[in-house]
A and B are shown apart, each in its own frame.
Chain A
Amino acid sequence: MGSAVTAPGKRDSAFPNFRTRTWNYAARRTLAILPVVLAALTVAFAVIHLVPGDPVQMMLSIGGSVPSPGQEQALRHQLGLDQPLAQQYLSYLWHAVRGDFGRSIVTGEPVSQVIGAAIPASAALAGAGFGIAVVLGFAAALLTTRLRPGPARTVFDALPVFAMSMPGYWVAILLIQVFSFDLGLFPATGGNGAAGLVLPAITVALPPAGVIAQVLANALEAARLEPYVFTAQAKGASPWRVLVRHALRNAVVPTVTLLGTTVGNLLAASVVAETVFARQGLGRLTVTAITDHDFPVLQGIVVLLGVVYVLVNLVVDLLHLWVDPRVTMARRGER
């Protein structure tokens, strides 16, 4: 036939089975997460050894009390710091794999319990923040591209930049001043349930919403200049169809990549938001653990963050596979 099939070996790779492709890819990505988890465990282990000076003395000398040699000895033994380094590491890994990070120095509770108690509040905050960021970001980007150049467009172009330039603590304070003190709509601090979640969620969502809006708007703008958009217009497709089915469908690809860092940044932002709004979440726990030199709790948090990062990126990779059919080939080409 008068076809343009080129190299003979190309045929089998040109028409792969989608399901096989997906499973291979998912399996490879899942295997790739193990080293990252191990690295996070190692970093967490290293924290206690990187501290300049004696961690045990640091932990015990909170509040200016002078620890007795007996106390020191006991804590050193409890933390296993009196054993050789290699043995410490292996025993740490062994316990860590089973979720055992020892006990908090401050409260004496198991680390897993301390952290477990903080997870629901943080998960709610991050989840709500994520939803708000995605909705706001997409809405702003789509609205911006529909606007013609002019004053309104200029304002909309600048909005994401402002959202990203605001320090989180000030956003939180402004929200409290306006919505709690002036309008009395939402509780300022400590509120439980949905009402108490609104202001902190907006606080953590604004910067990532700005990032999403900017990246998506740029990608949309770039996509609209692509020849395939002209092809679609030349078919007689309506502007809305061209925007959604062609431009947006392609612009989503770089935005999906962004969602991975978004989750991390939401957790980081929750440190400030939970402090200002006095919520008992992971962020707040991190700050108190640092101030109290509560190293076992810090170790647990580091490992948890590593695991969250890995899971989120796994989801992002699978999403990528779904929105961009070219993904596997590009990845293979890289290696």
Chain B
Amino acid sequence: MTLPRRPGLLLAVLTVLALAVCVLMPDVVAPHPPDAIDPAAILRPPGAGHLFGTDQLGRDLFSRVVHSARAALLVAVGAIALSLAGGAVVGLASGFAGGWLDGLFMRAADVLLTFPPLLLALGVVAVLGSSATNVAVAVGFANLAPFARLVRAQVLHLRGRPYVHAATLSGVSPPAILFRHIVPNAAEPVVVVALVSLGAAMLASSSLSFLGFGPRPPATDWGTLAAAGRDYLGSAWWLTTFPSLAVVVTVLAATTFARALRKGRS
């Protein structure tokens, strides 16, 4: 690959590596424990001692952002994994079975698509109660319908491709056609959409956390950190800025990968 010639992609790769380190070994990256209170250093602006500054209890914001990475990413990735798995099952069943099953699934998808994903996720949280797991389930559920539709559309499109017809005439059995020809060809567009949705899931889940439906204290993710900084809007800008930046950088990395993949395909 020509990574050095594509600075955007290079940055995205570096971001993902950095995030991976934060998720796997936060203690190595973070200079302080995330909940270490320092009364001598309350609401310090970003500087040498504290890269992202400190909060109203003197806790190091950088360490808190690093330690929140795992929760934030787990929720977003879990949500997309859920909608991908559910969407694949529903979409494949719908595309292959057709008939009443297809009709039922697609009408159900229509109803789900009636509600904007964030509101749907709010509704699920309303039913299930607020917690990190429930946010993941809620966001995953909210994104299920688009995946089901995409997978179904791919199946229908690919089933009509001449090369699938050719494989049938070459004596290839239906299951082999599914796994050798249809799934590999359908996978790429689905992965592209999954990456884009990962960004959207990140945004939705952090918004839910910001509204107070996310992990319960003392657990934190980027959304709850930003929400906690709201009380110091005028005096401590860093409290909302850095957790939000973490979200933006993650979303941009996912989008960049999706774009690179889409470009590489055409």
Counting CB contacts under 8 A, is A286 at the interface? yes
On whether the beta carbons of B199 and A47 are closer than 8 Å, the reply is no
Counting CB contacts under 8 A, is B88 at the interface? no
Stretch at the interface among B32-40, B57-65, B158-166, B203-211: B203-211
Residues of chain A within 8 A (CB-CB) of B213 are 290
B199 to chain A, nearest CB (A): 6
On whether the beta carbons of B116 and A36 are closer than 8 Å, the reply is no
Given contacts A36-B110, A302-B123, contact A309 B207 (CB under 8 A): no
Contact residues of B between 91 and 139, Cβ < 8 Å to A: 107, 110-111, 114-119, 122-123, 125-129
User: Within the assembled complex, what's the spacing in Å between the Cα atoms of A188 and B210?
Assistant: 18
* Other-chain contact of B114, A36, A166, A177 (Cβ < 8 Å): A36
Residue of A nearest to B200 (CB): A164
On whether the beta carbons of B240 and A40 are closer than 8 Å, the reply is no
Counting CB contacts under 8 A, is A170 at the interface? yes
Counting CB contacts under 8 A, is A134 at the interface? no
B175 to chain A, nearest CB (A): 29
Contact-residue size bin, chain A (C-beta under 8 Å from the other chain): 35 or more
Given contacts A265-B116, A290-B126, contact A271 B211 (CB under 8 A): yes
Residue of B nearest to A283 (CB): B119
Contact residues of A between 266 and 303, Cβ < 8 Å to B: 267-269, 271-272, 275-276, 286-287, 289-291, 293, 298, 302
Residues of chain B within 8 A (CB-CB) of A276 are 230
Residue of A nearest to B248 (CB): A165
Residue of B nearest to A161 (CB): B255
On whether the beta carbons of B248 and A169 are closer than 8 Å, the reply is no
Residues of chain A within 8 A (CB-CB) of B241 are 170
Counting CB contacts under 8 A, is A52 at the interface? yes
Counting CB contacts under 8 A, is A176 at the interface? yes
* Other-chain contact of A176, B128, B207, B233 (Cβ < 8 Å): B233
Residues of chain B within 8 A (CB-CB) of A265 are 116, 118
On whether the beta carbons of A177 and B237 are closer than 8 Å, the reply is yes
Chain A 36-74 near chain B by CB (<8 Å), digits 1 or 0: 100110010001001110000000000000000000000
B214 to chain A, nearest CB (A): 12
User: Within the assembled complex, what's the spacing in Å between the Cα atoms of A169 and B111?
Assistant: 28
Residues of chain A within 8 A (CB-CB) of B128 are 52
On whether the beta carbons of A166 and B248 are closer than 8 Å, the reply is yes
* Other-chain contact of B111, A36, A267, A287, A290 (Cβ < 8 Å): A36
Counting CB contacts under 8 A, is A167 at the interface? yes
On whether the beta carbons of B115 and A309 are closer than 8 Å, the reply is yes
* Other-chain contact of A51, B107, B127, B212 (Cβ < 8 Å): B127
On A, residues with C-beta under 8 Å from B are 35-36, 39-40, 43, 47, 50-52, 161-162, 164-170, 173, 176-177, 181, 188, 261, 264-265, 267-269, 271-272, 275-276, 286-287, 289-291, 293, 298, 302, 305-306, 309-310
Q: List 24 A-B contacts (CB under 8 A).
A: A39-B114, A47-B123, A47-B127, A161-B252, A162-B252, A164-B255, A165-B248, A168-B207, A169-B227, A170-B240, A173-B233, A173-B240, A177-B237, A261-B116, A264-B116, A264-B119, A265-B118, A268-B117, A268-B119, A271-B118, A271-B119, A271-B207, A290-B125, A293-B126
- Besides the known contacts A181-B233, A268-B117, A310-B114, 8 further A-B residue pairs in the complex with CB atoms under 8 A apart: A52-B129, A164-B251, A164-B255, A265-B116, A286-B119, A287-B211, A290-B122, A309-B114
